[in-house]
Amino acid sequence: MAHTQRIRRKELRQPDEFVTLSRRVVAYFEENRTIFFMAVGGTIVLLAAILIFRAVRTSRETGAAQAYAQAHTLLDDKKYLEAATAFQQVADSYSSTSFAILAQLENANVLLMAGKAGEAALAYQKFLDAGPPTDYLRQAALVRLGHAQEQSDKPADAARAYASAAELPGPYAEEALAGQARTAETTGDAATAKDLYTRFLAKYPESDRRALAMSRLVALGGTPPAERAAPSATVE
């Protein structure tokens, strides 16, 4: 026969455990109301700041993209000086966006195209000082800087720019080596120029600059490297 557990009246008068816990929570909340709201408020402010930052950043990227495109339209219309100004405005006004560094490079390129070699050299140096994101862009800027310095009658400075570009891997290495040889010849360093022309001919046998490099080497009293013999045909 099952036994029924009797509940005493004294036990019924005891406060329920859940009710007791709930009262404690309410009391704790009341005592720490200010701290609680400060913590919640701080979290909300932080989340709002993050959302605002993302929205502003997206808005700035969009604005930079539009301004960059407008500058390119001026370039396409061959309005070089206006385009250069527009690119510089993108670099200055949207410095925190991904378009700023490219706009600085484009500003230098357009100045060089406009015949403003001295201003272009300063713009290229500014781009390089800012830290190009890739070796490819750094090499391109160094080669263009060399051209700007050559046009500014600063062959020694140009030679240093070309030498730095030639040390980097990338598509402008050939142009950089040719520039090194040319500026060495311009400064009267015939021995270095002959060495560089010889190195160029050996390294880039299929280059469009080969004929010019060979003629300059011969003019300096150098000996062109032997042409590669064509493979002989075999008869089966």
Q: DSSP per residue over 181-234, as a string?
A: HHHHHHTT-HHHHHHHHHHHHHH-TT-TTHHHHHHHHHHTT--PPPPPPPPPP-
Torsion of CA 114, 132, 103, 175, to 10 degrees: 30
Whether residue 52 has pLDDT greater than 50: no
The per-residue pLDDT for 216 is 95
Whether residue 43 has pLDDT greater than 90: no
The per-residue pLDDT for 149 is 97
* Average pLDDT in the chain: 81
The per-residue pLDDT for 225 is 81
Domains belonging to the chain, first-starting first, are 135-223 (1.25.40.10)
- Lowest-pLDDT range of 16-20, 128-132, 215-219: 16-20
Select the more confidently predicted residue: 19 or 157.
157
> What is the token pair recorded at 226?
């032997």
* pLDDT 10s digits, 103-129: 999 999 999 999 999 999 999 999 999
The pLDDT of 200-206, averaged and rounded, is 94
Helix (H) or strand (E) holding 128: helix 117-130
Q: What phi and psi, each to the nearest 5 degrees, are found at residue 45?
A: -60, -40
